[in-house]
Amino acid sequence: MQLAPFYPILYRILKPIFPTCLWNGDEASPTIALTFDDGPHPEYTPQLLKVLDEYQIEASFFWLGVCVDRNPSLAKEIHQRGHWIGLHGYHHHSFPLLTPDELKQSLQKTQTAIANACQIDRDRVRDVRPPNGLFTPKVLQLLHQNNYRPVMWSVVPEDWVRPGIAVASNRVMANIGNGSIIVLHDGCCGGQDVSAIAANLIPRLLQKGYRFVTIDELWRQKHP
Protein backbone atom coordinates (compact mmCIF):
# COMPACT_ATOMS: atom_id res chain seq x y z
CA MET A 1 0.00 0.00 0.00
CA GLN A 2 1.34 3.40 -0.97
CA LEU A 3 1.42 5.90 1.88
CA ALA A 4 1.65 9.11 -0.14
CA PRO A 5 -1.87 10.35 0.83
CA PHE A 6 -0.98 10.12 4.52
CA TYR A 7 2.26 12.15 4.48
CA PRO A 8 0.54 15.56 4.40
CA ILE A 9 -1.51 14.48 7.41
CA LEU A 10 1.60 13.25 9.27
CA TYR A 11 3.36 16.50 8.48
CA ARG A 12 0.56 18.57 10.03
CA ILE A 13 0.52 16.34 13.13
CA LEU A 14 4.26 16.00 13.73
CA LYS A 15 5.39 19.54 12.91
CA PRO A 16 3.93 21.21 16.05
CA ILE A 17 4.91 18.27 18.27
CA PHE A 18 8.59 18.45 17.28
CA PRO A 19 9.23 22.15 16.60
CA THR A 20 13.03 21.89 16.87
CA CYS A 21 13.13 19.98 13.57
CA LEU A 22 13.19 21.94 10.33
CA TRP A 23 9.93 21.03 8.61
CA ASN A 24 9.67 24.02 6.30
CA GLY A 25 11.00 27.51 5.67
CA ASP A 26 9.31 30.90 5.74
CA GLU A 27 5.67 30.47 4.74
CA ALA A 28 5.55 34.13 3.71
CA SER A 29 8.33 33.69 1.17
CA PRO A 30 8.04 31.84 -2.19
CA THR A 31 11.21 29.87 -1.48
CA ILE A 32 11.41 26.07 -1.53
CA ALA A 33 14.15 23.51 -1.01
CA LEU A 34 14.73 20.58 -3.31
CA THR A 35 16.41 17.79 -1.32
CA PHE A 36 17.73 14.35 -2.22
CA ASP A 37 18.39 11.37 0.06
CA ASP A 38 20.41 8.15 -0.13
CA GLY A 39 23.21 9.17 -2.53
CA PRO A 40 25.57 9.83 -4.01
CA HIS A 41 24.91 7.17 -6.67
CA PRO A 42 27.41 6.72 -9.53
CA GLU A 43 24.71 6.55 -12.21
CA TYR A 44 21.62 8.38 -10.96
CA THR A 45 23.27 11.37 -9.28
CA PRO A 46 25.25 12.55 -12.35
CA GLN A 47 22.01 12.41 -14.38
CA LEU A 48 20.34 14.57 -11.74
CA LEU A 49 23.23 17.03 -11.67
CA LYS A 50 22.77 17.71 -15.39
CA VAL A 51 19.18 18.78 -14.74
CA LEU A 52 20.13 20.95 -11.78
CA ASP A 53 22.91 22.55 -13.84
CA GLU A 54 20.51 23.26 -16.71
CA TYR A 55 18.25 25.31 -14.44
CA GLN A 56 21.06 26.58 -12.18
CA ILE A 57 19.38 25.10 -9.10
CA GLU A 58 21.21 24.72 -5.79
CA ALA A 59 19.83 21.63 -4.04
CA SER A 60 20.53 19.88 -0.74
CA PHE A 61 21.79 16.30 -0.51
CA PHE A 62 21.53 14.03 2.54
CA TRP A 63 24.19 11.40 2.04
CA LEU A 64 24.84 7.90 3.29
CA GLY A 65 28.43 7.65 4.46
CA VAL A 66 28.94 4.30 2.74
CA CYS A 67 27.94 5.85 -0.60
CA VAL A 68 30.34 8.75 -0.07
CA ASP A 69 33.18 6.33 0.61
CA ARG A 70 32.32 4.47 -2.60
CA ASN A 71 32.09 7.65 -4.70
CA PRO A 72 34.38 10.29 -3.17
CA SER A 73 35.15 12.12 -6.42
CA LEU A 74 31.44 12.45 -7.18
CA ALA A 75 30.80 13.75 -3.66
CA LYS A 76 33.54 16.35 -4.12
CA GLU A 77 32.07 17.42 -7.47
CA ILE A 78 28.61 17.93 -5.94
CA HIS A 79 30.02 20.03 -3.13
CA GLN A 80 32.10 22.12 -5.52
CA ARG A 81 28.99 22.90 -7.55
CA GLY A 82 27.56 24.69 -4.53
CA HIS A 83 25.00 22.18 -3.33
CA TRP A 84 24.33 21.86 0.40
CA ILE A 85 25.37 18.62 2.11
CA GLY A 86 23.73 16.87 5.04
CA LEU A 87 23.90 13.51 6.83
CA HIS A 88 21.64 10.47 6.44
CA GLY A 89 23.68 8.04 8.54
CA TYR A 90 26.48 5.78 7.41
CA HIS A 91 24.10 2.98 6.42
CA HIS A 92 20.37 3.36 5.82
CA HIS A 93 19.45 2.26 9.34
CA SER A 94 16.50 3.75 11.20
CA PHE A 95 17.91 5.83 14.05
CA PRO A 96 15.54 4.53 16.78
CA LEU A 97 16.91 1.01 16.17
CA LEU A 98 20.46 2.11 16.97
CA THR A 99 21.96 2.52 20.42
CA PRO A 100 23.07 6.06 21.30
CA ASP A 101 26.70 5.05 20.70
CA GLU A 102 25.87 3.42 17.37
CA LEU A 103 23.99 6.49 16.20
CA LYS A 104 26.78 8.82 17.26
CA GLN A 105 29.37 6.66 15.49
CA SER A 106 27.23 6.45 12.35
CA LEU A 107 26.94 10.23 12.10
CA GLN A 108 30.58 10.88 12.95
CA LYS A 109 31.73 8.30 10.41
CA THR A 110 29.57 9.95 7.76
CA GLN A 111 30.92 13.38 8.65
CA THR A 112 34.44 12.05 8.27
CA ALA A 113 33.66 10.46 4.90
CA ILE A 114 32.22 13.76 3.63
CA ALA A 115 35.08 15.83 5.07
CA ASN A 116 37.67 13.59 3.43
CA ALA A 117 35.91 13.50 0.06
CA CYS A 118 35.03 17.20 -0.11
CA GLN A 119 38.13 18.46 1.73
CA ILE A 120 36.12 20.49 4.22
CA ASP A 121 35.93 20.74 8.00
CA ARG A 122 33.73 17.92 9.25
CA ASP A 123 32.02 20.22 11.76
CA ARG A 124 30.50 22.15 8.85
CA VAL A 125 28.31 19.14 8.06
CA ARG A 126 25.70 19.02 10.80
CA ASP A 127 22.27 18.84 9.15
CA VAL A 128 20.75 15.40 9.70
CA ARG A 129 17.73 13.77 8.08
CA PRO A 130 16.73 10.48 9.76
CA PRO A 131 16.37 7.53 7.36
CA ASN A 132 12.71 6.68 6.75
CA GLY A 133 11.84 9.89 8.61
CA LEU A 134 11.90 7.95 11.88
CA PHE A 135 13.05 9.46 15.15
CA THR A 136 12.10 9.59 18.82
CA PRO A 137 12.40 12.37 21.42
CA LYS A 138 15.51 10.56 22.68
CA VAL A 139 17.05 10.62 19.19
CA LEU A 140 16.32 14.34 18.87
CA GLN A 141 17.87 14.98 22.27
CA LEU A 142 21.04 13.19 21.19
CA LEU A 143 21.18 15.15 17.94
CA HIS A 144 20.83 18.49 19.72
CA GLN A 145 23.37 17.52 22.39
CA ASN A 146 25.91 16.86 19.66
CA ASN A 147 25.18 20.10 17.76
CA TYR A 148 23.33 18.51 14.85
CA ARG A 149 20.35 20.15 13.16
CA PRO A 150 17.44 17.73 12.48
CA VAL A 151 15.84 18.25 9.06
CA MET A 152 12.53 16.73 7.99
CA TRP A 153 10.25 17.56 5.04
CA SER A 154 6.85 18.90 4.07
CA VAL A 155 6.34 17.36 0.60
CA VAL A 156 6.85 13.60 0.17
CA PRO A 157 5.82 12.12 -3.22
CA GLU A 158 6.97 8.62 -2.20
CA ASP A 159 9.22 8.40 -5.26
CA TRP A 160 11.16 5.45 -3.82
CA VAL A 161 8.32 3.06 -4.69
CA ARG A 162 8.46 4.38 -8.27
CA PRO A 163 4.81 5.36 -8.81
CA GLY A 164 5.74 6.92 -12.14
CA ILE A 165 7.29 10.25 -13.10
CA ALA A 166 3.97 12.01 -13.72
CA VAL A 167 2.41 10.69 -10.51
CA ALA A 168 5.37 11.69 -8.34
CA SER A 169 5.56 15.12 -9.97
CA ASN A 170 1.83 15.76 -9.60
CA ARG A 171 1.97 14.77 -5.94
CA VAL A 172 4.56 17.47 -5.37
CA MET A 173 2.59 20.09 -7.25
CA ALA A 174 -0.55 19.26 -5.26
CA ASN A 175 1.18 19.85 -1.92
CA ILE A 176 3.71 22.59 -2.63
CA GLY A 177 3.65 25.93 -0.83
CA ASN A 178 5.90 28.72 0.39
CA GLY A 179 8.81 27.31 2.38
CA SER A 180 8.21 23.70 1.31
CA ILE A 181 10.94 21.09 1.67
CA ILE A 182 10.60 18.48 -1.08
CA VAL A 183 12.26 15.12 -0.52
CA LEU A 184 13.30 12.92 -3.46
CA HIS A 185 15.82 10.10 -3.72
CA ASP A 186 18.91 9.67 -5.89
CA GLY A 187 19.98 6.33 -4.41
CA CYS A 188 19.17 2.71 -5.27
CA CYS A 189 15.47 3.11 -4.45
CA GLY A 190 13.87 5.79 -6.60
CA GLY A 191 17.04 7.10 -8.18
CA GLN A 192 16.13 5.55 -11.53
CA ASP A 193 13.48 8.26 -12.00
CA VAL A 194 14.96 11.17 -10.08
CA SER A 195 16.43 13.12 -13.00
CA ALA A 196 13.19 12.82 -15.00
CA ILE A 197 11.10 13.90 -12.00
CA ALA A 198 13.37 16.87 -11.41
CA ALA A 199 13.21 17.82 -15.09
CA ASN A 200 9.40 17.66 -14.90
CA LEU A 201 9.08 19.59 -11.64
CA ILE A 202 11.61 22.39 -11.83
CA PRO A 203 10.17 24.36 -14.78
CA ARG A 204 6.64 23.98 -13.38
CA LEU A 205 7.73 25.31 -10.01
CA LEU A 206 9.71 28.16 -11.56
CA GLN A 207 6.66 29.09 -13.62
CA LYS A 208 4.67 29.39 -10.39
CA GLY A 209 7.22 31.87 -9.09
CA TYR A 210 9.08 29.72 -6.57
CA ARG A 211 12.76 30.27 -5.89
CA PHE A 212 14.96 27.30 -5.00
CA VAL A 213 17.18 27.64 -1.94
CA THR A 214 19.29 25.33 0.21
CA ILE A 215 18.37 23.88 3.57
CA ASP A 216 20.89 26.22 5.17
CA GLU A 217 18.99 29.22 3.82
CA LEU A 218 15.73 27.83 5.22
CA TRP A 219 17.38 27.56 8.65
CA ARG A 220 18.45 31.21 8.35
CA GLN A 221 14.87 32.17 7.51
CA LYS A 222 13.72 30.46 10.69
CA HIS A 223 16.49 31.96 12.84
CA PRO A 224 17.54 35.27 11.27
Query: What tens-digit pLDDT sequence spans the chain (224 residues)?
Result: 577 888 888 889 999 999 999 999 999 999 999 999 999 999 999 999 999 999 999 999 999 999 999 999 999 999 999 999 999 999 999 999 999 999 999 999 999 999 999 999 999 999 999 999 999 999 999 999 999 999 999 999 999 999 999 999 999 999 999 999 999 999 999 999 999 999 999 999 999 999 999 999 999 998 76
**Does residue 83 contact residue 48 with C-beta atoms inside 8 Å?**
no
Exactly one of 38, 88, 185, 186 is catalytic; name it.
Answer: 185
- Active site (annotated) includes residue 185: yes
pLDDT for res 41: 98
The dihedral of CA 193, 199, 202, 207: what is its sign? negative
Q: What pLDDT, on a 0 to 100 scale, did the predictor assign at position 157?
A: 96
Q: Among 37, 127, 186, 193, which one carries the catalytic annotation?
A: 37
Domains and CATH numbers, the chain: 4-222 (3.20.20.370)
Packing angle between helix 137-145 and helix 100-118, nearest 10 degrees? Answer: 50
- CA proximity to 14, closest of 103, 107, 106, 140: 140
Specify the pLDDT at position 224.
67
What is the CB neighbour count within 10 angstroms for residue 136?
12
Element (H, E) at 34: strand 31-37
37 is catalytic: yes
**Is the separation of the CB atoms in 23 and 153 below 8 Å?**
yes
pLDDT at res. 165:
97
Phi-psi group of 12: left, alpha or beta (phi > 0 → left; psi -120 to 50 → alpha; rest → beta): alpha
pTM, full prediction = 0.96
